[in-house]
Amino acid sequence: MIRTDGPTRLGATMEELTRIAGPWKAVTRWRVTEFDPPRRQVQEGDGVSTAKDMAVIIELSPAGQDTDFTLSVRYTPRFGPIGALIDRAVRGSITRSQQRSAKAFAALVDRENSSS
């Protein structure tokens, strides 16, 4: 995280350095557009030159004694057919990055549950 304007809330903004693929990075600006804690949060972003209409959707739902966690990334590739090729080339990197984020979140939840 490069910058945040405080705790997460509707309208909150933040900036992060996002690794696109290999050494290719971008500064992504995010704004919280839906906030229904603890069930749902939507962040819309811009700043990645190869994508437009970006959103990250975080959802939590009860699953018996557990909680299901869903992290979705929605975007439209830019640059028509060339953008589609770039998208296919970086999709694996984006997926791995999101999986790392989900694992880090799960580890944080486990630590919090262990300390209570």
* 22-68 pLDDT per residue, tens: 787 888 899 999 999 999 999 999 887 778 888 999 999 999 988 89
CATH code: domain 3-115 is 3.30.530
pLDDT-above-70 percentage for the chain: 97
Going by the DSSP 8-state scheme, the letter that residue 2 receives in this structure is: -
What does pLDDT average to over the chain? 86
CB half-sphere exposure, 25, CA atoms < 13 A? 7
- Per-domain residue ranges for the chain? 3-115
Q: What is the pLDDT of residue 20?
A: 67
pTM for this prediction: 0.74
Q: Which amino acid is at 4?
A: T
| More confident: 72 or 25 | 72
